[in-house]
Chains A and B, each alone.
Chain A
Amino acid sequence: MTQTRSLWEHGVKTGIIGGVAVLVIALVGMVESFHRRDIIAEVITMGQVLLLIGGVFIGYIAAKRTGSDESLAPGLNAVIGSSVTGGFLAFLVIVGRLINLRAVLVNASPMLYKLLTLGHKGVAGIFIILLIGMGCGVFAAALFYLPRLTRRVIILSLSSMIIAGVLQDLIRPVIAAWGPVAVVSEWLFTGNGLTVSGSISIVILIAVVMTAWALKGQDIKSGYGNLSGGSQRGIKISAFFMLAVVLLALPHILGLFLSEVLTIVGLYVLLGLGLNIVVGYAGMLDLGYVAFFAIGSYVTAVLTSPELGFFSLTFWQALPFAVVLGIFFGVLLGIPVLKMRGDYLAIATLGFGEIIRILVLSDFLRPWLGGAQGAGKIPKAAIMGYQFITPQQIYYLILAGCILVVFISLRLKGSRLGRAWMAMREDEDVAQAMGINLVATKLLAFATGAGFSALSGAIFASKLGSVYPHSFNVIISINILCLIIVGGMGSIPGVIVGAAALVGLPELLREFAEYRLLVYGAALVAMMILRPEGLWPEVRHKMELHAEEENNIGEPEPSTAT
């Protein structure tokens, strides 16, 4: 009796957790709004894919957590886990049809039930849900038993197909703009998603490439390693050159809308790199970072906007003032928090951020800053007659800013100051004992971060042409924090990846935009528990976290009761 119980115990437990998670996903409305986007046109939508991925994932976890020696046990648990999850959804449909859940849960709509049961009414619909749940479990079990390589190939090729479907708005115009290649786009995409033949060919293509890489990749890597230093450098330089060409040509390849998305991502890269210095390098959690963004924007507005009517400088004349004042405020707000650490620092900076926003919003400063209505008519930047007006033009301005800031960040990282920051991040007391001047080092971190942020703010003001206090919400600080944590604290490519993923994706996926903070929150928690070093970790930071794990290996795993 006990034997059988422990056999399916993990399956049921994982299934219950997964079921609750899937219920939440369905009831917050994610499934329904993702349903509006097809992955494969007329066949499967993003909402359905989301649920299927959830089902398979739960089955796979259930299989993985089974510690049993019995070879059939993981598969059994996978099926049980996914079926239990399906059972939760079936339960939702039954309850939802009997009583009107919508009075409380706004997203428990008939549309959702129809979607879950694939349009079947009555008992048949319930059976379909259970059957699909079981199917997910069988698929998960199959994945579990397959050899590692095959499993990776299957997962990667399927997910590339899904990504191709999700990012159709990005991929289609890009391919379509290339003349002869446009045929590919017509073949791959139709209506509101991939074609069936297109999706199959993507899966096959990726599978072949993956298998080939897995078999031959090592040779290519060692072949590159065997090349002489000169030709390695040659490859690097040409890769760099190609990257530069692509970056310069990007707005023309992508078109107006995607360039707009790019400019937003670029602004967040600027902000992220600034916060990366404060949080990632120096280890000081600053939640009021948006304040400097606001200061940069408002200084630009006050100095240039004829609407406020104090000065009418050009953008380039105002920019140095914005950056310098940003740095000044960085130091000014940094002095009081010098002695604080960790959580106290986070809350104090959050307080500063809110104070600045409230002051800007108040009637008290209205004559100077425009109050809730903000300030408009901020002139666009121009160099020798070339005006930065459309997103495609502003892109270059932001690109220049990003390159400058990336360059500064890179140079700072290896410098004496950068190493001092990282020493301080690891242990303040030891750093001080090693002769690091904590006051100067901390203030320099605040100043640099604030300067980058103010630069971003100035460009933002010029891009939008107007500033409003509502643009400088605490949510922005949280967004920036999320993107550097997801990307990897202290890592420059991590910031860029994080900005592209966390800021670019929601702009491309309108359905997703509403749930971005929900997903960010969950991502932060999951990242901290599973992968605190981020997606693209900084080498040293990763080493430190790994060293910690190695120390913990001796201790028994803490039992997770759930």
Chain B
Amino acid sequence: MFQRWKESITPTDIVMWLIGGTLLLMVIWGSVATLVAGKYTGRHWIDFVIFGLAQGSIYALIATGYTMVYGVLRMINFAHGEVFMSGPYTAYFVAAAMYRSDFLDKHPFTALFVIFVVAMAISTMIAYFLEKIAYRPLRGAPRLIPLITAIGASFFLQYMFRGLYGSGFQAYPVIKIFEGAWVIFGIRILKFQLVVIVAAILLMAALYSFIMLTRAGKAIRAVSEDKEASSLMGINVDGMISTTFIIGGMAAGAAGVLYALMFKQVHFFMGFIPGIKAFTAAVLGGIGNIPGAMLGGIFLGLIESVGPSLFLDGLGIPAPYQLKDAIAFTMLVLVLIFRPMGIMGERLAAKKA
């Protein structure tokens, strides 16, 4: 037993364990040092956690789109971040118009509903046509080809929206009733963060029940299980792939509005980094696995928000918050190396490889 185990170790495995071990030691060392130093109080940590939850639930919503598309097409829809961007960027103009006419302050819920509808409609449209124009002709092509297409589509969409709407940052109008904070069980929570978390949870519940309970959801699951068999069972595979993109687009559009509510600005490049992070979240949860993507998103959001202060501050690194993206990307690389099947992705792991 031990003998066989010893034989299967290669020098590269040892190098990887060394890297992994070093990082783990650094994380532990940093955390202990930070906690001992006591620079942050409990209040700080709670704020970090809530911020992380809000951010993570946005990642989770985007990640479901990645994971569903990966499920049915076995490709990374690199342009999903642009689907996410297109909705809220277009809805910004609606929001700004409503803000100028005071509609936003008088009927905030109706206004918010309109913003959501516009954003989701645009994102859905972009996702649908993206699949139809760019990806559909490439069914059955070698694996690199759809990925390169997706990268191309991603940059095309970014710069198309840059050309259409301009290259500057647009400040999203502030919705007054979501300003300020609530105190719940003695914990002070910024209102918009709570709204983001609750809205994201509701949307995820709706999405999950669509996938698990409806006929179309069942068909999508069947297609991601086995395309040929499901087409033999009378499922319209192309139609289900389109449906997947539509649902992913709706989730991304809604996530985009939540993102805009949280960070209060939109920009043509805003989808790129969240897109990669949401992909990280999808991989974390096990790509192809919807609840996994949701958990992965929330986990990533938490790590990103708590991580810089917890791990890096203790190591004496100045301005640790600058490195939060580096933490997210390191997580991505580590997960891809050590557990490519993700936290919950056992089923798919065998099929991949």
Contacts and interface: CB of A to CB of B under 8 A. Distances in A.
A106 interface: yes
Interface stretch (A53-61, A140-148, A359-367, A503-511): A359-367
Interface in B192-230: none
Is the interface on chain A under 10, 10 to 19, 20 to 34, or 35 or more residues?
Answer: 35 or more
Contacts of A524: 148-149, 151-153, 155-156
Contacts of B320: 364
B25 interface: no
Interface string B113-144: 00000000000000000001110111101011
Given A364-B319, A364-B322, A528 B156 contact: no
A124 interface: no
Contacts of A388: none
A525 B147 contact: no
B148 A361 contact: no
Contacts of A528: 138, 141, 145-146, 148-149, 152
Interface in A274-314: 283, 285, 287
B99 interface: no
Interface stretch (A24-32, A211-219, A396-404): A24-32
A532 B151 CA distance: 14
A228 B164 CA distance: 61
B158 interface: yes
B325 interface: yes
A560 B137 CA distance: 8
Most buried by B among A24, A103, A364, A520: A364
Interface string B15-50: 110010000000000000000000000000000000
Contacts of B134: 525, 529
B181 interface: no
A340 B340 CA distance: 9
A439 B12 contact: yes
A27 B163 contact: yes
B9 to A, nearest CB: 13
A41 interface: no
B111 interface: no
Contacts of B148: 285, 481, 485, 524, 528
Contacts of A104: 93, 165
Interface string A361-400: 1111010000000000000000000000000000000000
B317 A521 contact: no
Contacts of A527: 152
Contacts of B319: 362-364
Given A347-B276, A347-B336, A517 B158 contact: yes
B45 to A, nearest CB: 23
Contacts of B340: 339-340, 344
B76 A343 contact: yes
A343 B93 contact: no
B157 interface: yes
A359 B327 CA distance: 11
A352 interface: yes
A283 B147 CA distance: 13
Most buried by A among B19, B152, B154: B152
A348 B158 contact: no
Nearest to A287: B151
Interface stretch (A82-90, A253-261, A330-338, A445-453): A330-338
Interface of A: 24, 27-30, 103-107, 283, 285, 287, 335-340, 342-344, 346-348, 350-352, 354-355, 358-359, 361-364, 366, 439, 474, 478, 481-482, 485, 515, 517-518, 520-525, 527-529, 532, 558, 560-562
Interface of B: 10, 12, 15-16, 19, 75-76, 93, 132-134, 136-139, 141, 143-149, 151-160, 162-166, 272, 276, 279-280, 283, 317-320, 322-323, 325-326, 329-330, 332-333, 336-337, 340
6 contacts: A28-B163, A30-B163, A351-B330, A366-B318, A518-B163, A521-B154
Given A285-B144, A518-B163, 16 more contacts: A105-B165, A339-B337, A343-B143, A344-B340, A348-B337, A361-B322, A362-B326, A364-B319, A478-B155, A517-B159, A518-B160, A521-B151, A521-B157, A524-B153, A525-B153, A562-B133
